[in-house]
Amino acid sequence: MKCQIRFFAIVMLTVVALTASAFTALAAASNLHRASVNLAAPANSDPDAPNAACTKMSATADVYWALLNEDDEIALPEDAPQGLESYPSGTNLIVPVFEYDCVPKKAAIVSVFTLDGETVYTDKESLKASESEGFYAYPLGTTDGSPMDEGEWGVEYYNNKTLLTSGSIPVGGDEPLDTVTVIGTVTDAKTKKPIKGAVILVLVEGVTVQDFIDGDQQEEDIFTGAKTNNKGQFELESPLTREVEYSVIVVAKGYKPIGQDGLVIPTDAEDPVELPITMVKSK
Amino acid sequence: MAAQVCCVDHQRAGTQTIGGRWFCDEHYQKATHMRRGAFRSGVLAVVGLLVFVALVIGLDQVLKPDLAITPLLLVGIVLAIVPAVLWLIFFYQQDRLEPEPVGHVARMFVLGLALAGAIGIPITDQLFRVQDWLFRDNLTAILGSVFLIGGVEAFIIYATVRYFIFDLPEFDERTDGVIYATAAALGYATALNLQFILNSGGGALGGAEVLMVEVALAHAAFGGLLGYFLGRARLEQEPIWWLPLGLALTAVLNGAFNLLRGQLEPGSISIGGQASALPGVGGLIAAGALAVVVAVIVYALINRDIGRSLSGKQPAATADAAKGDRQANTATVGTFVVLLIVAAFAWNSAVNSTTTFEVSGFKGAYPSYFGDATAEGDVLRATDTLGTGAEFIIATRANDSGLDAKGIASQLGGERSTDYAMYKVTDTANTTVAGKPALMQSFAYIDPQSLTGAEPEVKQGVDYIVVDAGRAVMITLLTTPDDLPNVEPLFARFLNSLSF
């Protein structure tokens, strides 16, 4: 009797644990689905021909990450012909692609997606046998078009329980796309007249105004800069990253120089962000 | 017997003494008279000015007048004179029972204005060019503000009163010093304000008026303080350090106010918005407070002095008043010279101090306010990053084909013609650098990619090309046409310091 109770308890606990993990997995994956994609047919594919030559599928290159164009075809942006380095915040579709040599009979690809190391989505898809090279992609998107969770996304592609290839990519977060163009006007604090020829210097992250002055004003301490035109307007040569503390120096003939540390462009600032500067006469 | 003549009119016989000086009966009355109206009018003027500023800002904000340059300048000039005129009106209104000769106060004002325009402003702005270096570092800012700006102005006010009214019999009350010096200081302030209006070519009227009233109030306070010292020096026998002390205190107050204003209104960088449409009034409030505080303190001091005069305990009058005044004046002029010498040292260390370098066999010195912008391919590149942007560059290149300096110059010309637009050599000459024969060439070009990357910039410069031992050395000054005259002397000193 005692033995039966213990057995019953073990079974129930196992069921509960399994149900819970299934629900967790479902809950995590519920928002994700396979987006439609037009994979170009392999060049010499002949579905009727026997595929005796191909017995094993293998990846010929690493996974690269792409986008889909209007026709749901895999596309790479001009500035990243080798694949994306990251997806920006707000992305609702990620497209990992790999190339293979051939497809044996009854082949199926299992795609496993992870987010920050946790498996969040898996799927299995059969492929037609083929003797020729081709590429495979499993575009993963959100069902409702909402942004995907930010973090490090990974993919593993399996065939017959053998890992073909894998890769990972950051989505959102600290990716370099989160920068803002900075424009502005330098004016006299009192008369509101524009000041022409004012120089705006933004120092490298971590260098304070005092560091810059004490360090003999090394050129390498300057991150970017600008000079105002006749209307007192400027645009910084390089964009600034949000949520980073910058030190800024503004100088103009006949005006008291401004040195300010800890200038931060908040996440919700518009792009381009306005940076109005007012200066006071030096005498 | 000279000592027994009334020290005010230098004619009548003295019957009473105050603070070691003889007075006739009439002037004894005057010297012990408290002139409350002068202070009432001063405080009224401060309040009136603040109301006036608020009015101008309000009108400016509501009407947003869109004036052309000439009417804007005319309105600006009128607004520049308003603070002084307002003070004069209040003064005469309060003073009508015991009027000071109208001409004297007005004359102090005009003389203060003229001396500021003819001597004071040229010394600070053209001779010392204080606006170019004042804020290079904190010590320089303090020394420059106190010894140069404060010192020059204090002396101009002193000189206006001392040489044009001090010895006249009309300077017969303690309060007169305050009145005359304030008038002279307002003249000085008006000169500064006219300079500001003419330089800035008009501007937002509200903001401009804030600045001008601030300047007027602050300077009236400096004048009032110095005037107290002058008033006492006129009517009592003071130690020789009395007037120099007044001069120095006024200079310190002036400098301190200048620095305080810089702290209150340092300029601003704001993110993602518009700069405030209203002008900053921190400096104005500080100036108003300063004027009232000085008026109250001076009033209390004069009250105390009169009380002491009437108490009857007076030191015996011994010294010759006129002689004492002359000595005090000499001491004050001497103090001013000392202030100027200290200012000159501050100026010299800010402008002429150098950073020495020794790199790749090159030795020399460049101005210490230049930054080190040496990049790949340069031996040295010193840049006036926080000022003109001028660059002093030393570069070398291999000269295996044995070109002469002219050949190197045409090589350079070819490269610059590719990188820039309209490259042109405007002058060449043979000279020497570091004892070696050199080719000097002046050039100009248009840099389509200046720091902004937005607007092309005309660059002008000078090369010194030396060919020695299989290499060519190029020492180059690169600047803009506007800055060339200012930078050339610095570059000449840089060249003289070079050895390689």
Vertex B331: Cα angle to B326 and B333 (nearest 5): 95
As a whole number of angstroms, the distance between CA B286 and CA B294 comes to 12
Residue B231 is predicted with a pLDDT of: 87
User: Which domains does chain B carry?
Assistant: 16-352 (no CATH), 354-497 (3.40.1000.10)
In this predicted structure, the answer to whether residue B460 has a pLDDT above a threshold of 90 is yes
Classified as helix, coil or strand, A99 is strand
Of the two residues B12 and B490, the one the predictor is more confident about is: B490
How do residues B138-183 score in pLDDT, each as one tens digit?
788 889 889 999 999 999 999 999 999 888 877 777 788 888 998 9
Q: Name residue A259's beta-bridge partners.
A: A249
Using CA coordinates, name the residue in chain B closest to A264: B271
- The bridge status of strand A182-188 relative to strand A273-274 is parallel
Chain A contact probe: residue of B138, B209, B263, B268 with most A CBs at under 10 A: B268
C-alpha B233/C-alpha B321 separation (Å) is: 10
For A67-76, B54-63, B184-193, which range has the lowest pLDDT when averaged over its residues?
Answer: B54-63
CA distance A25 to chain B (A): 43
Q: Is B238 exposed, middle or buried (0-12, 13-18, 19+ CB in 10 A)?
A: buried
Please tell me the distance in Å from B193's CA to the nearest CA on chain A: 12
pTM of the model: 0.69
**DSSP secondary structure, B185-198, as one string:** HHHHHHHHHHHHHH
> What's the longest Cα–Cα distance across chain A?
98
Q: What is the structure's pLDDT at B298? A: 84
What are B194-213's pLDDT values in tens digits? 888 887 765 667 778 888 88
B376-417 tens-digit pLDDT:
888 999 988 887 889 999 999 888 888 888 999 998 899 998
The pLDDT value given to residue B248: 93
In this model, does residue A59 exceed pLDDT 60? yes
Which tens digits make up the pLDDT trace of A243-269?
889 999 998 888 888 888 888 888 888
Beta strands in B368-435 (DSSP E): 371-372, 380-383, 391-398, 421-433
Among A73-77, B62-66, B333-337, the range of highest mean pLDDT:
B333-337
CA distance A222 to chain B (A): 10
B-chain residue closest to A209, CA distance: B386
pLDDT per residue over A128-157, tens digit each? 888 888 888 899 988 888 888 888 899 999
Subunit contact A218:B267, Cβ cutoff 8 A: no
Q: Compare B82 and B63 and report the one with higher pLDDT.
A: B82
Question: Residue A45's pLDDT band (boundaries 50, 70, 90)?
Answer: very low
Q: What is the pLDDT of residue B201?
A: 67
Is the CB of B372 inside 8 Å of chain A's CB atoms? yes
Asked whether the predicted pLDDT for residue B228 surpasses 80, the reply is yes
Task: Quote the pLDDT of residue B1.
Answer: 43
Q: Search chain B and give the residue with CA nearest A194.
A: B203
> B280 vs A18, B208, B286, B460, CA distance in Å?
68, 11, 12, 39
The structure tokens 């031996």 sit at B379
Confidence category of residue A275, pLDDT binned at 50, 70, 90: confident
CA proximity to B225, closest of B290, B159, B141, B140: B290
3-state secondary structure of A131: coil
Task: Quote the percentage of chain B above a pLDDT of 90.
Answer: 24
